[in-house]
Structure 1
Amino acid sequence: MKKNLIPDFLLFLRNSPTPFHATQNLKSMLESAGFEQILEKDEWSLKNNGKYFVIRGDSSLIAIELNRAVSENTGFLAVGAHTDSPCLKLKPNATKERFGYLQLNTEVYGGVLLNPWFDRDLSIAGKIVYKTKTGQIKTMLIDCKKPLAVLSSLAIHLDREANKKRSIDKQKMLSPILAPRSEGSNFQDLLISEIKKKEKIKTGLSLLTTDLFMYDTQAPAVTGMNDDFVSSARLDNLVSCFYACRALIDSKPSQNKLLICNDHEEVGSQSYIGAKGNFFKDVLGRVCKTPELYSRAIASSMLVSADNAHGLHPNFPERHDENHRPIINSGVVIKINNNQAYASNADTCSIIQNLAEKRKIPIQYFISNNEMACGSTIGPITATALGVKTVDLGLPTFAMHSIRELCGVKDIYSFYKLLLELYQEDLD
């Protein structure tokens, strides 16, 4: 197994504070492996043995590897993941002044576990659209990197019940402190300075719009007494994006392969770059060229929806079904929900189980406690939209949707190996 799998992943996490950055880093990985970028607006002339990728909206990506001619008997092995993670985003009018402090005005993105965001050194990253002095409109990504703001807790002396019943008012309490208010404190100037620094522009630009995210500056880390865990923000779901991309790149030529990394999964996928949009369907239709070949390709294909699973927390074992308790570092998790929150079924599970047994990859199963609501993934969305058979699987994880999540090193290797073998296996 490749020794640099973990260090490369930690670097990817650190350099991917937003879906935009994650997509750019996936693009760099693919280009280094010989994949060619193609544009949706152009005419496509795809070749056998060709390797391509398409980006939509700067934060969703599809990679294509054609090892066989697309014909009536040709299917695809596709792995789907998502580039976004729950977080705090900045509103358009991003600052406000209160009681002598300059504060940031945030909106909650997705189902964030909010308490861990307090008392962290936060920075800002995302997309900026600006106009040059010649009237050109340009887009760039920024990452301020340094700690800029803190969402400070109220001291225990001022809230004696904080450890018993802390309730977070999202409008009132989620305004990180950026600076004491003074003549030198201007947030827009900070953003313009980032543009000038990156683009080497001295004068003559104006800020038009932004799409900015807050993130924790604490670096990803391997942790535990025996280096058993990876601790970081955005493990859900950059762990799947990164290792699916690595598996695609490292796999031997066999069947036709796809990698789909959508944005907006954490907020319902309902956008032109989300799984409910037409991105995947449109790209696959153009690859297959005719409706007949498209329909037959779908019938011969399988999608692996790769997203994190809830590992059994030793302090809260009652939250899991007693017969389905995934343990970190005990294997990849196949996720099942008979109410179709996950798209796995007996046929697709058997394909994974059989391959895992042949390759000696440990497998676990997750199904919800009947008293607990179940989350969902892009799996059922894509299976419904395309009619493609699908399995949901992922890594067991603690503290999902926190600013600091935890997964297992052994599981990462098992996950990568399973995706690699799936891409290399002839499933026809």
Structure 2
Amino acid sequence: MTDAAACTARLLAYIDASPTPFHAVAESVRLLEAGGYTRLREEERWELAPGGKHYVVRNGSTLVAFEVGDAPVAEAGFRLVGAHTDSPNLRLKPNAAYAKEGYRQLGVEVYGGVLLASWVDRDLSVAGRVVLADEEQPRLLRVERPVARVANVAIHLNREVNSKGLCLDKQKHLPPLVGLVPNEGDASEDWLKAFLAAELGVSDPEAILGFDLMLYDVVPSTVAGLNGEFVCAPRLDNLASSHAAIEALLAAGAAGPVAFTRGIALYDNEEVGSASAEGADSPFLGAVLERIVLAQGDRLEDRHRAVARSLFVSADMAHAVHPNYRDLHEPRHMPRLNAGPVLKVNANLRYATLGTTAAAFLRYAREAEVPVQTFVNRTDLACGSTIGPITAARLGMPTVDVGNPMLSMHSIREMAGSADQAAMVAVLRRHFG
């Protein structure tokens, strides 16, 4: 197996272990601890020393990890990579269980910009976390067998579906079927708690006080294409970038210490605007960086000096050109799969890339002997955004937006190039020294 193939295999294993942001952080913690990182808690005092490798978790769904450099951050700065752990999906409502026409169903809300049609006729299950009355910490839950399905309606009952497209009413058409009512006239809605309790091995369903649960596709990630050119997986946006950040950080740390402090921030809630206590628009990362500065002295000026010497790489997936829809792309900025990472640029700062920060990323790529592509949205199409502009504004830190190219973004199953993950890791590895 080549290095690129091995990196891709690790990516797919990471994705399959991470059906929710909570699982993604748990898997990230496992990898970091295997690499020598130890946990810090926000409510405790931090004792930091050069060479120390640490991580801190908020809400179970956001993680910041860092390795303290040999030099004070006021003199050497930070080199950071940011990504996000969440992906668009369908999430259970608090009182989700109900019965209709003899079927048991789950009420769901749409989280983020979901390609809704891609969730129809899939083998779905439930994952997330459950809060129990007698336990301090929530429990992770992952039901591995398919238990839910958003069933399509037959073409005989919707004759115009192929000409007008599948139009789904979010309230009426998305609730999945999860079973049949066992006895006619039995519309009891306590079956969901009983099901969750059984899956958790809890004897009393009433011990369940709350949950954060979502649907996911149980089909594993895979390599595809005539020559294995593609990866097909859920949540590539943006677990691929989270995985690349972790791999690069661990590889850099294994190579030895450097003067600057390097780290990663894997945020929740990017897909819904980042405005949460654990999102990129929170003070979380800034507070962590400030505590690192304060551990080395007590001068507020040192924080500003450190930021001025720093660079933040916002890593989020990019739009590859689709051969069937090439007119949706700007003609001279058409990223292709397996052709290297993508610099993302927008004049209205929907991406944070500047000429200076782009140059820094290009230098890393040249050192790694990795080609780089550039994406600019068509002028007549609205541009998406990332954590990049939010981080640049909140921290005042120079930022560059990058990402690997992909197709089917925000589908339940997305598609990317099998060689691109190793390329991104190599460039981020240079960023980390």
State TM-score, norm by structure 2. Answer: 0.94
Q: Once the two structures are superposed, what CA deviation does each residue of 1:187-223 show, in whole Å capped at 9, x if it has no partner? A: 2111001221xxxx55586110010010001110001
> CA, structure 1 residues 42+81, in 2 after alignment: closer, same or farther (shift >3 Å)?
same
Query: Match of 1:30?
Result: 32
Query: Match of 2:21?
Result: 19
How big is the shift at 1:102? 0.5
How big is the shift at 1:245? 0.3
The answer (yes or no) to whether the contact 2:313–2:401 under 8 Å persists in 1 is: yes
How big is the shift at 1:95? 1.4
The answer (yes or no) to whether the contact 1:230–1:406 under 8 Å persists in 2 is: yes
Please give the secondary structure, in 2, of the residue aligned with 1:73. helix
2:352 aligns with one of 343, 350, 357: 343
The answer (yes or no) to whether the contact 1:125–1:142 under 8 Å persists in 2 is: yes
In 2, distance between residues paired with 1:274 and 1:204? 32
How big is the shift at 1:138? 4.3
The answer (yes or no) to whether the contact 1:70–1:293 under 8 Å persists in 2 is: no
Query: Match of 1:390?
Result: 399
Greater Cα offset, 183-192 or 356-365: 183-192
Task: Give the fraction of aligned pairs with identical amino acids, expressed as a percent.
Answer: 41
Please give the secondary structure, in 2, of the residue aligned with 1:164. helix
Query: Match of 2:75?
Result: 73
In 2, distance between residues paired with 1:44 and 1:90? 37
Query: Match of 1:103?
Result: 105
Query: Match of 2:170?
Result: 170
Query: Match of 1:192?
Result: 197
Is residue 300 of structure 2 the alignment partner of residue 291 of structure 1?
yes
Query: Match of 2:268?
Result: 263
1:130 aligns with one of 129, 132, 146: 132
The answer (yes or no) to whether the contact 2:193–2:205 under 8 Å persists in 1 is: no
AA matched with 1:177: L
> CA, structure 1 residues 202+341, in 2 after alignment: closer, same or farther (shift >3 Å)?
same
Q: Once the two structures are superposed, what CA deviation does each residue of 1:253-291 show, in whole Å capped at 9, x if it has no partner? A: 323101000100000000000000010010000000142
AA matched with 1:375: G
Please give the secondary structure, in 2, of the residue aligned with 1:355. helix
How big is the shift at 1:358? 3.2
In 2, distance between residues paired with 1:138 and 1:322? 51
The answer (yes or no) to whether the contact 1:131–1:138 under 8 Å persists in 2 is: no
Query: Match of 1:213?
Result: 214
AA matched with 2:362: Q
How big is the shift at 1:168? 1.2
The answer (yes or no) to whether the contact 2:8–2:419 under 8 Å persists in 1 is: no
How big is the shift at 1:331? 1.1
In 2, distance between residues paired with 1:371 and 1:203? 57
AA matched with 1:155: A
Is residue 39 of structure 2 the alignment partner of residue 40 of structure 1?
no
How big is the shift at 1:117? 0.3
How big is the shift at 1:75? 0.5
2:424 aligns with one of 415, 418, 422: 415
Is residue 224 of structure 2 the alignment partner of residue 223 of structure 1?
yes
The answer (yes or no) to whether the contact 2:351–2:388 under 8 Å persists in 1 is: yes
Q: What is the number of equivalent residue pairs in this alignment?
A: 417
Greater Cα offset, 320-329 or 64-73: 64-73
The answer (yes or no) to whether the contact 2:4–2:419 under 8 Å persists in 1 is: no
Query: Match of 1:362?
Result: 371
> CA, structure 1 residues 2+225, in 2 after alignment: closer, same or farther (shift >3 Å)?
closer
Query: Match of 1:85?
Result: 87
AA matched with 1:179: G
Runs (4+) of structure 1 exceeding 4 A deviation are 201-205
